Amino acid sequence: MKEKNSGTWLEGKLKRLSMLEPYTFPELWNAKIEHSEPLIKLDANENYFIPKELISKILREVASEVDLRLYPVAEYKQLTEVLAKKLKVPPESIVMGSGSSQLIDAIIYSFAKPRDKVVSLKPSFSLYRMRSKVHGVKFVEVPLNDDLSMDSESVLKAAGKSGVIFICSPNNPTGNQFPQESVLSIVESFPGLVVLDEAYVDFADFSLITKIIEYQNLVVLRSFSKTYGIAGGRLGYLVANTELAELLRSRVLRPYSVSSVTLRVALKLLENHDTLMPYIEGLKEERKVLQRALNGLSGIEVFDSKTNFILVNVLTDDGSLGDKLASRRIYIRKIGKIFTKGYAYRITVGLPEMNSRLVEELKALI
Ligand SMILES: Cc1ncc(COP(=O)(O)O)c(C=O)c1O
């Protein structure tokens, strides 16, 4: 066997990778899949309200229609055209990706070079920070105000004159949507790129997606994981001015990053939009029920939500509540100490029976 060189180029590279923040696979990653107790997974904002049977039925239809011998060009084009009509934007302004996560990555490595800056809010979606670090880009976080509102002036000040600003609205993990004026004031004053992540917008009140027609420096991100319930299918898209979108599509991503099966499933889900929307309404109703139940518990602060999850702050906790729930096969997302007192968690709005089990356990544990 060849002797290993010490202090080599490869070792240096591996060391750098080992210093990156690991993606925090929930404790769930280690949980037994086969178990007598059902697993209650409320940690990743998946959508249980879109019936599994409906998605399976669509998948069976797609299986007989799609020709997997071919690259997914026709499916990409078809979905883009239908989506463009629905969103009232030009088809050329849409770029598909393997989840919006892939597009977040593509934006960072296409626009933010090591001397540039990526700016986001604190707390917000952790992937902006993690992917910036992977690409060796400086990442700056601007804290939200105590009432979880965004200080647009501070965001602009932190960003300066170039780079990329990520605004997640409605924001993960706080659940609130920032007013149109505060987002647009940033877009109007910032000479760099503003990425507005609208992954949860269908659970909220308004979208700014058509603003991409007015603002050349605005990119809006969307995901099929949340509204349409196909997180496992991995599909997201961005909408931006046609020049920027075309460059990302043809130079950076190419139309092969999403499988023809997923693209076809998404197309059929869009065609079933009117059938699906009552499920989203059902989720919003259940959000109110869960909020009320959580509010009924003592020692826990419950925040308003425009998403499919709820942020809570458990006043006397240090994170051990999440571990105790996990040992009972109930998974919620640990967020950490984001307020002066307590420990925050993000809870996906599950089906009524899942939420009832969670609340029951919380009653016993808090
Ligand atoms: C704000 C936000 N953006 C993007 C994503 C990524 O979604 P996708 O499954 O499309 O990669 C998530 C997933 O949780 C999210 O919370």
Pocket-testing residue among 121, 223, 307, 349, ligand 1, by greatest number of atoms within 8 A of Cβ: 223
Length of the chain: 366
Give CA–CA dist 350/82, Å, rounded. Answer: 30
Mean pLDDT, residues 225-250: 97
pLDDT band at residue 312 under the 50/70/90 scheme: very high
Domain region containing 219:
52-271
Residues 178 and 141 in one domain: yes
- Exposed/middle/buried for 14, CB within 10 Å: 0-12, 13-18, 19+? exposed
Distance 100 CA to ligand 1 centre (A): 6
At CA 141, angle to CA 158 and CA 253, rounded to 5?
A: 95
- Residue 36 above 90 pLDDT? no
- Residue 114 above 90 pLDDT? no
Residues 61 and 38 in one domain: no
Mean pLDDT, residues 141-170: 97
100 lines ligand 1 (CB under 6 A): yes
Distance 103 CA to ligand 1 centre (A): 10
Residues 254 and 307 in one domain: no
pLDDT, position 198:
98
Distance 99 CA to ligand 1 centre (A): 7
Give CA–CA dist 211/207, Å, rounded. Answer: 9
Residue nearest to atom 7 of ligand 1 (CA): 100
pLDDT band at residue 25 under the 50/70/90 scheme: low
Cis bond upstream, residue 170 (ω within 30): yes
Residues 192 and 305 in one domain: no
User: Which of 17-26, 219-228, 276-285, 316-325 shows the lowest per-residue confidence on average (mean pLDDT)?
Assistant: 17-26
C-alpha atoms less than 13 angstroms from C-alpha of 83 in its C-beta half-sphere: 26
- Residue 6 above 90 pLDDT? no
**pLDDT mean across residues, the chain:** 94
Taking only the tens place, the pLDDT of each residue in 38-89 is 889 999 999 999 999 999 999 999 999 999 999 999 999 999 999 999 999 9
Examine residue 15 and state whether it is found in any structural domain, yes or no: no
Give CA–CA dist 110/178, Å, rounded. Answer: 27
Give CA–CA dist 350/49, Å, rounded. Answer: 8
Q: Is the dihedral of CA 229, 231, 232, 235 positive or negative?
A: positive
Residues 143 and 172 in one domain: yes
Residues 121 and 195 in one domain: yes
Q: Structure tokens of 361? A: 């356990």
Report the CATH number at residue 65: 3.40.640.10
pLDDT band at residue 28 under the 50/70/90 scheme: low
223 lines ligand 1 (CB under 6 A): yes
Q: Which of 218, 239, 271 is the last residue of a domain?
A: 271
pLDDT, position 306:
98
Q: Please report which helix (H) or strand (E) contains residue 14, including its range.
A: helix 9-18
Residue nearest to atom 8 of ligand 1 (CA): 99
Residues 197 and 313 in one domain: no
User: Which of 5-9, 178-182, 194-198, 356-360 shows the lowest per-residue confidence on average (mean pLDDT)?
Assistant: 5-9
* Start-to-end CA span in the chain (Å): 57
pLDDT band at residue 126 under the 50/70/90 scheme: very high
291 lines ligand 1 (CB under 6 A): no
pLDDT band at residue 23 under the 50/70/90 scheme: confident
Residues 154 and 75 in one domain: yes
Residues 291 and 317 in one domain: yes
Examine residue 191 and state whether it is found in any structural domain, yes or no: yes
pLDDT, position 183:
98
Give CA–CA dist 335/140, Å, rounded. Answer: 19
Decide which of 366 and 71 is more confident.
71
